């Protein structure tokens, strides 16, 4: 099973993102948009995971949830990895709620390492939702237009838990299904 841990975004935030993309300043873009069914905040990508290990993953994540309390997460600035001049991924980054989101991602990372030996993240966590994947170099002028994309406003999700998600790859892209949701219940 190809698994990752994620925060689901509210329907209201999905509409805000969809509206932002609809009014995008680049016609016939040289990238592939992702769709609302794939918009989320990835806390940890596990990749291929043996079915025999899923119970241990569920147990580790079940231990994480009670240590956290709900928080608001707002998406804002538009960006690209590694940058907007030569992006491979286009995204909207978290603008508020970054500290509790980062603490949650770190807790998930440690819990999965301790439970299963899943490799720890080596890069700094960057809360974002991917909206497009770029295959080729951008033609001249497109990068300048990307820098003009306004930040999202009113894109706030109340985060009261997270989910273990399975990703199935197909010719039309990834299809996601929630394996289990974990609700926050404390913070102690």
CA 72 to chain centre: 15
Looking at every residue in the chain, the average pLDDT score rounds to 94
Q: How confident is the model at residue 143 (pLDDT cuts 50, 70, 90)?
A: confident
Residue 14: is its pLDDT beyond 90? yes
Residue 187: is its pLDDT beyond 70? no
Section 144-156 average pLDDT = 91
**Among 71-85, 96-110, 134-148, the least confident range:** 134-148
- In this predicted structure, what is the pLDDT of residue 148? 87
- In this predicted structure, what is the pLDDT of residue 49? 96
User: Who contacts 98 (Cβ-Cβ below 8 Å, separation ≥6)?
Assistant: 127
Residue 90: is its pLDDT beyond 80? yes
| CATH class (in words) of the domain with range 2-183 | alpha beta
């Amino acid at each position: 099973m190809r698994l990752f841990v994620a925060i689901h975004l509210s329907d209201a935030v999905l509409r805000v993102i969809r509206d932002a993309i609809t009014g995008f300043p680049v016609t016939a873009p040289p990238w592939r948009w992702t769709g609302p069914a794939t918009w989320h905040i990835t806390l940890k990508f596990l990749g291929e995971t043996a079915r025999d290990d899923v119970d241990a993953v569920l147990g580790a994540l079940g231990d994480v949830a009670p240590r956290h309390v709900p928080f608001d997460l707002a998406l804002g600035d538009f960006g690209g990895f590694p940058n907007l001049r030569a992006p491979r991924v286009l995204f909207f980054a978290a603008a508020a709620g970054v500290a509790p989101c980062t603490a949650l991602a770190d807790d998930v990372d440690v819990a999965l390492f301790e439970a299963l030996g899943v490799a720890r993240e080596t890069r700094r966590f960057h809360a974002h939702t991917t909206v497009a994947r770029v295959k080729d170099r951008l033609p001249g002028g497109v990068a300048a237009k990307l820098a003009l994309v306004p930040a999202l406003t009113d894109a706030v999700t109340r985060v009261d838990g997270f989910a273990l998600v399975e990703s199935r790859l197909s010719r039309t892209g990834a299809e996601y299904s929630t394996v289990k949701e974990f609700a926050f219940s404390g913070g102690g």
